[in-house]
Amino acid sequence: MKNTVGIFDSGLGGLTAAYEFENLFAGKKYIYFGDTARVPYGSKSKDTICRYALQDTGFLISKGASLIVAACGTVSANAIEALRQRFSVPVIGVVEPAAEKAARIAAAGGGRVLVLGTEATVKSGAYEKAISAIDSSLCVKSVPCPMFVPLVENGYTEGAAAELFVREYLSPYLSYGADAVILGCTHYPHLSGVIGAFLGGSVLVNSGREAAEAVSRLITADNAADGKAEFYVSDAPESFARLAGVFLKRDATEGVKCIDIESY
């Protein structure tokens, strides 16, 4: 039986992983769920994030997913253990792969990592734990950037509004001189242009891309099921389809279906 990958996020952010999956596994099927009725996750409690993540994963498995990518920093930081305990399929999160990449970059430079994430991700300390387990000599600072998710969900990925919030959150860290900046929420790579221009020399680590790379270390194209991507959301399929097309750099207007996630 070939593998079908299920990818989920609170909304559009996980498309950063889906986009990389499409590049790495051209013509291979994946099932995407964006929890558009309940986004954002980043301001919720750990218990709520776990409950949502269990439902999202249960839904993808009911559709035939045999490998799950929690393409959400908030879920990866707060609920990955709960998912691995509940389900027998492999669950890949974004924290471990992004931490590994950033640690490699920082170790070869000045030893400094900056993590950008949601409130819940920063509060969890998950990136600090993952990086210090790899190399405890590295210095890690984390910044919550709560306005980034609504900016991305509304398509403000460049221009004055995005620049204003990037300056607001990141000005205090300009002098820190991070070697690697982890875009620890999968929505944030959509703001890479503005963040990269503001921070200058730091290498940006796209956590969605690193998660997709982690999938390619677990399965090969030969044992991945063929077929088209399927998209499901919990609310407003039309606006998801419109922005999904922009983020996937292809037409994604067909076949986004709305489901009742509370029943899973």
> Which residues are annotated as catalytic?
72, 185
Structure tokens at 99: 């931490």
* Closest distance to ligand DGL from the beta carbon of 124 (Å): 11
Q: 66 vs 186, which CB is nearer to ligand DGL?
A: 186
CA dihedral defined by 141, 111, 135, 189, rounded to 10 degrees? 60
CB of 39 to ligand DGL, least distance (A): 5
Pick between residue 58 and residue 146 the one whose CB is nearest to ligand DGL: 146
191 binds ligand DGL, rule: CB under 6 A: no
* Listed ranges 35-43, 47-55, 135-143, 210-218: which one lies at the site for ligand DGL (CB under 6 A): 35-43
CA distance linking residue 15 with residue 83, whole number of Å: 20
Task: Report which secondary-structure segment, H or E, holds 68.
Answer: strand 67-70
Closer residue to ligand DGL, CB minimum distance, 32 or 224: 32
Task: Please choose, out of 17-25, 72-80, 95-103, 133-141, the segment that lies near ligand DGL by the rule CB under 6 A.
Answer: 72-80
CA distances from 206 to 7, 10, 94, 254, 256 (A): 16, 17, 9, 27, 25
Q: Is residue 61 involved in binding ligand DGL (CB under 6 A)?
A: no
Strands 256-258 and 139-144: unpaired
Residue 175 has a CB neighbour count (10 Å cut-off) of 6
Q: Mark the segment that binds ligand DGL (CB under 6 A) among 33-41, 56-64, 127-135, 192-200.
A: 33-41
Rule CB under 6 A: which of 128-187 touch ligand DGL?
149, 185-187
How far apart CA 259 and CA 107 sit, in angstroms, is: 45
In the complex, least distance from residue 232 CB atom to ligand DGL, rounded to whole angstroms? 16
Contacts of 157 (CB under 8 A, 6+ apart): 151, 190, 191, 193, 194
Least distance from ligand DGL to the Cβ atom of residue 261, Å: 14
Binding site for ligand DGL (CB under 6 A): 9-10, 13, 39-42, 72-74, 118, 121, 149, 185-187
